[in-house]
Amino acid sequence: MMERLLVFLLLAAVAVLYIVGERRGTTRWTALASTLLAVYAAAWVLFMVYVWFNHLNFPLNLEAMELLVVQHLQRVMAGLPLYVEPSPDFVTLAYAPLYYYFSVPFAWVFGANLFTMRLVAVLGMLGAEIVIFAAVKKQTSSNWWALMAVGLFTAAYRAMDTYLDNAHSDSWLLFPVLLGCYLIDLKRSRAVNLLGVFLFIVSFWFKQHGAIFAIGGVLYLTWRDGLKNSWMYWALAGLFGPVLYALAPSLWFGPWFHYYTLTVPSHWSAVTFGGLKRYIGYAVKNYFALAAAGGIASLYFLVKKWRDVSIWYFMLPFAMLTGVMGAFDEGSNNNIFIPMATWFIITGILGLHYAVEHFAPLKKWAVHLLALGASFALLFYNPTSVLVSPKAPEAYRDLVQYLNSLDGPVYAPWIGPLESGYEFYPAVHWVPMEDIIRAPGVDTYNHPVTRGLLEAVIHPEGPAYILMNYPLENDPLLGFLTEQYKLKEDLGDRFAPLSTLPKRFLLEYPRYLYEYVP
């Protein structure tokens, strides 16, 4: 809190410099103030580039499911179906499949590993940044405002739960949506508009939330161009969206495709006061000024220029709807707010720009700089908190050596299948195992599905172990295993350099070894 207050005071001082320059008519001072804020924004952009290189070769999970995601890629490259009946060896994640298939060409070059999946995610994040810059520059004719938008986007890395460069599909949900909006905003031709709609559908095949943007995008074109001129957009969206989804051949994806991508996630959410509180609290805590500016601007243009409203303003409610869906899933991390947060940033920047350009007192009193300073302050975090330890490779080698020294198989539900050096048994990860049974009001403890998948753990043929990041007895899914397994060793911070990145649910690092006691 104190660090954020200090950042705000420093950036507020920049705003004061701007105000003094305005009152004295000294453009040198106003230019200096604008330059100082631009330097601050650029520093976050450059820091994010450093973060990418810092993370690419980390040998364990930056996020709970990274190694499991690599396992999905390996299945695709081996010609195996992704969506199959749950087994002790593999339970599919409840995500759309395109991220895995899209990563295959990269895996041909770099291998089917964490580096490849993170590299693909980084390219998606980089693409999102480029489109944000281009979109804001197009709307404002200003490199400065475009830099503010990208600076805020990169500064929001921690608020977005440090997901966008992880081996996860979030950046590739976002990038096609942004690019599709940008193309439609060009107003060039029906062919370009069709490409934009196609990109919305592509985002759905990366992650199911893209369907909301596809609906929003087609509705926008219908709003702007009229129903008579929009039938092709509806046809394209329908063909490559629900029709292709319904007819998706099991030969490609596996016979359980619809179960994992529709049935399973449909059980997760419930409308609760806690979910609403989480949703509002996240927006206010991280994006208060931007959400206010973007929301007011969106309403203003929808009312005043409803026939020619920008797609960025029109799509804000749809982006917010993706956040609503995630907020009511108690088991979700805050990555579900990434699209909504991105739209807060874009529309907030566009709204502030319009306000200071058309209302002179706001510019005179540097309201835009104060709002930007407050936004950067809300998003501020300790940069070292998202950097991985330089001792991680050594700790990984130590972990592999330690596992190989044990006289029986090890089950590590919080890690997933290692890239090399050791093979856990069973291999099933706790996330998809819990996903297929969790729902509001469902007790996951000692669930029959879990027991069936972990038969080899419950009744091993000899010595067996469980490696946990947190005490087994506190695990709401697997705590029942303490009936057969007792703590053998608390490894302390021996493997602390292998800790995951900070997120809503912090998983830390392998620490507790439990031994089977007949």
List, as one string, the DSSP characters of 98-147: HHHHHTHHHHHHH-SSHHHHHHHHHHHHHHHHHHHHHHHHHHHS-HHHHH
d(Cα 49, Cα 386) in Å, to the nearest integer? Answer: 12
**What pLDDT does 440 receive?**
87
Residue 25 has pLDDT above 80, yes or no: no
d(Cα 480, Cα 25) in Å, to the nearest integer? Answer: 72
**What pLDDT does 126 receive?**
98
**What pLDDT does 429 receive?**
94
CB atoms within 10 A of CB 1: 5
pLDDT class of 468 with cuts at 50, 70, 90: very high
pLDDT in tens, 131-170: 999 999 999 999 999 999 999 999 999 999 999 999 999 9
**What pLDDT does 29 receive?**
87
Amino acid letter, 409: P
pLDDT class of 2 with cuts at 50, 70, 90: confident
pLDDT in tens, 251-277: 789 999 999 999 999 999 888 999 999
Average pLDDT over residues 376-394: 96
Residue 250 has pLDDT above 80, yes or no: no
Is residue 60 exposed (0-12), middle (13-18) or buried (19+ Cβ within 10 Å)?
Answer: buried
Residue 107 has pLDDT above 80, yes or no: yes
Higher-confidence residue: 13 or 122? 122
Residue 439 has pLDDT above 90, yes or no: no
Instruction: Determine which of 104-118, 145-159, 217-231 has the lowest per-residue pLDDT on average.
Output: 217-231
Q: Cα 59 to the chain's mean position, in Å?
A: 20
pLDDT in tens, 32-77: 999 999 999 999 999 999 999 999 999 999 999 999 999 999 999 9
pLDDT class of 441 with cuts at 50, 70, 90: confident
Tokens of 301: 């243009």
Residue 109 has pLDDT above 80, yes or no: yes
Residue 4 has pLDDT above 90, yes or no: no
Amino acid letter, 433: M
For residues 224-249, one letter each, b for 16 or more C-beta atoms within 10 angstroms of the residue's C-beta and e for the rest, the string is beeeeebeebeebbeebbeeebeebe
pLDDT in tens, 493-508: 999 999 999 999 999 9
Average pLDDT over residues 373-402: 97
What's the full length of the chain, in residues?
Answer: 518
d(Cα 366, Cα 356) in Å, to the nearest integer? Answer: 8
